[in-house]
Amino acid sequence: MVIHILRWIIVLVLAFLVGRLMTKIKMPSILGWLIVGMLFGPHAIKMISQNILDTDWYKTVIMWMQCAFGVMLGSELVWSKLKHSGKALVITTLTQSLVTFIVVSLAFGIIFCFTKTPIYLAFVFGGIALATAPAPALSIVNEFDAKGAVTDTLLPMTVLDDIVGIAVFFLVNSLIAREVSGGSIPLYMILVMIFLPILIGVVVGFPAGCLLKKSSGRTQNLTVLLCGITVTMMIGWFFNTYLFSDFALNYMLMGVSFAAVFSNMVTLEQLDMINSYFSPILSIALLVAIVDLGTPLDYHLILGSGLYTFIYILARAFGKYFGARSGAKFTHMPDTVQKYLGLTLLPHSGVSLVFTGIICSTLASAPEMVQIVQGTIAAAAIINEFIAVIAAKKGFELAGEIKRIS
């Protein structure tokens, strides 16, 4: 175990250094983190082997880190900030999510009509395409200290997008399960998947907020915050380990709701201080999360990627960009949001791989369809992630919300 931990720490240090090199060539650090994760993961150098990824200590660390970067999102859900734009956020989230689902499903539906592949498989791709991986965009925001209308819209939207993505994907998964095997996850479990993580965060967030209101100084605030994240993660772990077997509750969503509760209980000045104290820990959490995002990516799949992969990437990008643009325009959001929000929504791989694993279990009785889904999404995850990170960074830059790197 000690050797495994040392190897993992060495990879994280290498990722940090390569990330710094990326900034020298005007690229975000996250690209270096992804590359190191992929090259040192189980499909290449294997310094982080599959055995390490399967250990309990590694899974626990990743769960904690997911809760931790959820705190960054939750701290943006302050009612006094959102009350003037809440309706626009909801409408734009729905348009960019559902337009993506429609565009991707339609594109594959047309193809499958000619290839005589079951049409319902098109909705599988649509369901997977919905969600946005928050960590890459959050990493760019954190690294470049992005500030402005696009950033203010993206952070809370990532939370809403996650909720819509879970709801639509598990609805599709349930219907597909009935089609291929006559069984399904009960539809009421979709509500459980969405609201139980929120409830867990609220239960821990309220007492944490009471303590934070009375605490002062870096040590006291950080102690309350770190203990709250740990307790939130442990409750989520209990539910996932002992009550659910077919799927896992979203740890990031737990962290979001935990932070949203205490953020609305303290003053804005204190919240700013808490966020500044937490910033170094958040940076580490994002580094760990992004390296973990890269480790399952098999670079060999790039060579074998085919037409389905590129159709998926293009259709999803089209849906995200124009769905966000139309929603932002309809709700009269700022011009920069209309033009550039869609670019920041392109990162995808972590969520797509999780959803792919779930749907492939559902399609286990149809191995030829499992192969289509796995091959397409795995290759798309690698290609899209590098393109999406560059596009997201460019979106913030064009919006004037990060300083151009000289």
Beta-carbon contacts of 256 under 8 Å, excluding residues fewer than 6 positions away, are 70, 71, 73, 74, 77, 159, 198, 201
Residue 153's alpha-carbon distances to 58, 73, 336, 340, 359, in angstroms, are 33, 11, 11, 11, 30
- Let me know if residue 350 belongs to a domain: yes
pLDDT in tens, 196-208: 989 999 999 999 9
> For residues 326 and 103, what is the distance between their CA atoms, to the nearest angstrom?
14
The parent domain of residue 275 ranges over: 63-398
pLDDT > 60? residue 142: yes
pLDDT in tens, 50-94: 888 888 898 899 889 888 878 887 887 787 766 766 788 889 999
In the block, tokens 């310094």 appear at 47
The whole-number pLDDT of residue 406 equals 45
Q: Let me know: does 57 contact 270? Beta carbons within 8 Å.
A: no
User: Please, what is the Cα angle at 140 between 292 and 144, to 5 degrees?
Assistant: 140
pTM to 2 decimal places: 0.75
pLDDT > 60? residue 3: yes
Look at 34-38, 214-218, 281-285, 296-300 and tell me which has the smallest mean pLDDT.
Answer: 296-300
- Let me know if residue 6 belongs to a domain: no
When pLDDT is cut at 50, 70 and 90, the band that residue 376 belongs to is confident
- Let me know if residue 17 belongs to a domain: no
Q: Let me know: does 301 contact 378? Beta carbons within 8 Å.
A: yes
Backbone region of residue 244 per phi and psi (left: phi > 0; alpha: psi in -120 to 50; beta: other values): beta
Q: Let me know: does 326 contact 92? Beta carbons within 8 Å.
A: no
The whole-number pLDDT of residue 262 equals 93
The whole-number pLDDT of residue 335 equals 94
Highest mean pLDDT among 186-190, 289-293, 337-341, 383-387: 337-341
Across the chain, what does the average pLDDT equal? 84
Q: How many domains does the chain fold into?
A: 1
> For residues 159 and 248, what is the distance between their CA atoms, to the nearest angstrom?
17
- Let me know if residue 180 belongs to a domain: yes
For CA atoms 137, 88, 205, 195, give the dihedral sign.
Answer: negative
- Let me know if residue 128 belongs to a domain: yes
- Let me know if residue 12 belongs to a domain: no
Angle, helices 120-129 vs 367-398, to 10°: value is 30
> For residues 125 and 112, what is the distance between their CA atoms, to the nearest angstrom?
12
pLDDT > 90? residue 281: no
- Let me know if residue 47 belongs to a domain: no
pLDDT in tens, 221-246: 899 999 999 999 999 999 988 887 66
pLDDT in tens, 13-41: 999 999 888 888 777 787 788 888 888 98
The whole-number pLDDT of residue 213 equals 87
> For residues 140 and 67, what is the distance between their CA atoms, to the nearest angstrom?
18
We report the CATH number of the domain holding residue 146 as 1.20.1530.20
pLDDT > 50? residue 124: yes
Q: Let me know: does 229 contact 279? Beta carbons within 8 Å.
A: no
- Let me know if residue 34 belongs to a domain: no
Residue 295's alpha-carbon distances to 27, 34, 41, 207, in angstroms, are 20, 8, 4, 36
What element of type H or E holds 28? none
